[in-house]
Amino acid sequence: MISSLQSLLAGRVDVCVVGSGPVGLALGIRLARSGLSVALLESGGKTISEKTNRLAAAASISTAHHAEASLTIRRAVGGTSKAWGGRCVEFDDSDFDGRPARGDARWPIEHSAFRAYYDDARTFLGAELSNVEIPGVEMPDMDGDFEPSIESWAREPDMAKAHGALIESLPNLHLVTQATVIGLDLDREGARMKRALVWHRGKLHSLGATIFVLACGGRENARLLLAAQEIAPRLFGGVDGPLGRYYMGHLAGELARIRFADRSFMEKMFFRRNGTGAWFRSRLIPSIALQNERDLLNSVFWLRSPPLEEVYSTAGARATLNMIRAISGRRRMRRMSFKAKAPDTASLSDLVSNPVESFNAALQLTTAALKSERQPNFFVKNDEHLYWLAYHSEQLPVAANRVRLSSEVDETGLKRLAVSFDFAEEDLASLIRSHHALAEWITRRRIGTVEWLYPEETLSAAVRGQALDGYHQIGLTRMGASPRTSVVDGNCRCHDLENLYVAGSSVLPVSGQANPTLPAVALALRLADHLKGELRG
């Protein structure tokens, strides 16, 4: 239920969760349903406020490969799910194999710890994936070099909308908005957290709890811990320790397209819907054996609709496309303009002169636009069976990719972050090797042919030109067995503070190919069960 901060100050809740994004909501709801009292503190309100969002703005960002910081978060109930497309992807076994390229990034838990919670996480996110309900997931004619990877999509991506009624109905889930945590009050020994320092409606308050969980996004989790470390420098391995380092995201973009000869295989990679109403589709990932053989980082490939100018290349069709764009100008049509080229010169006279082409194009575009309102992405099928090949690829953990406190402060007095973030040459080179391996496999299996969008000698520059992240915020408070190389343990508890936990993508020591939302929610549900045991033990 929505509560006032004042009503909580006099007492003491079992768990204080900082942040109400997908991870904080999943954790808070599961704890409250078990009977524990939970304070869920949200810096924003029910809707996004530009002023509140600016609290997360960075003092500086080192490269153009990191998005502007305040654009990569949403300070509101539901958090970044308000901007999230809804894609849910599991980790792969290869993400847990401890390969040398990942340095000292070592999971303290097995993949099975996630698998036990993937189904519950998908249910929470509204992206259920039951094998019984999905016909024909297996891709035809696979030989081991590449394997199918299934993604499902949330029916309602905004978790505040999806769970709004439940949040209101749980009497021991106390959601407080406009409550920005700006500091951690520790005991004299520096072994426990006593209270959260909360900036609320222009005043500073302190809230007590038995256990505290930071779930306010990767950079903001690190920011609060760095502020605590500034007061107690020995914490989290000291100033030269792992806190705020190993910042990761993903490479994403397109380097090639596929012209399919095998129609059955192609159709297996289109969007489909299961019995729950959730959309899903198959993608391709290199097998563990191939990754080891060719020294590849993990990556995934899927089909994307080609630019509409390629699909509708005749004069009448292009004129129809231009007319629809001019009339609409709305977000729906902006989605249709994926990778749009320079403005087309096709005009009204072309439309009138080619009535059959124009009518067919209008019918296809209208049908595709209506369908795209239901499925996750705009997708136009074409008779040439030619589709762009999208990629999403692992970034290696590098200590120089980091955040640190600057001298600049926000409106609450909390120091802003300075961000250093870039992609290593091996990130790019591995992705290009993966593309070549996929092209060879597609040709060998007679699935089709791969056509490069860029000359071979410019592929690395093309990948770097498309490289942009800052949204996934992985690794900044990573988990591990040793406090020398990690911030939290396998249960997400800070090595140095016995009642402070961290949840979200920042605890993941490896980025893999997966978007982090599903694994982060799965880990939050696992944490909830652990905390229930701790508090009732």
Q: Are the beta carbons of 304 and 176 closer than 8 angstroms?
A: no
Residues 6+ apart with CB under 8 A from 458: none
Contact 520, 505 (CB under 8 A): yes
- Angle between helix 22-33 and 111-125 (nearest 10): 90
What is the full DSSP assignment across 150-216? EEEE-SS--HHHHTHHHHHH-TTEEEESSEEEEEEEE-TTSSSEEEEEEEETTEEEEEEEEEEEE-S
- pLDDT truncated to tens, each residue of the chain (537 aa)? 677 888 888 888 999 999 999 999 999 999 999 999 999 999 999 999 999 999 999 999 998 999 998 889 999 999 999 999 999 999 999 999 989 999 999 999 999 999 999 999 999 999 998 653 444 455 655 668 999 999 999 999 999 999 999 999 999 999 999 999 999 999 988 889 999 999 999 999 999 999 999 999 999 999 999 999 999 999 999 999 999 999 999 999 999 999 999 999 999 999 988 878 889 999 999 999 999 999 999 999 999 988 766 655 565 555 555 655 555 544 444 444 444 444 455 555 655 566 665 556 565 666 655 555 566 777 778 888 999 999 999 999 999 999 999 999 999 999 999 999 999 999 999 999 999 999 999 999 999 999 999 999 999 999 999 999 999 999 999 999 999 999 999 999 999 999 999 999 999 999 999 999 999 999 999 999 999 999 987
CB–CB of 277/162 below 8 Å?
A: no
pTM of the model: 0.91
Task: Supply 342's token pair.
Answer: 């320079």
Whole-angstrom Cα distance, residue 466 to residue 390?
12
Overall residue count recorded for the chain in this entry:
537
Which helix (H) or strand (E) segment is 419 a member of?
Answer: strand 415-420
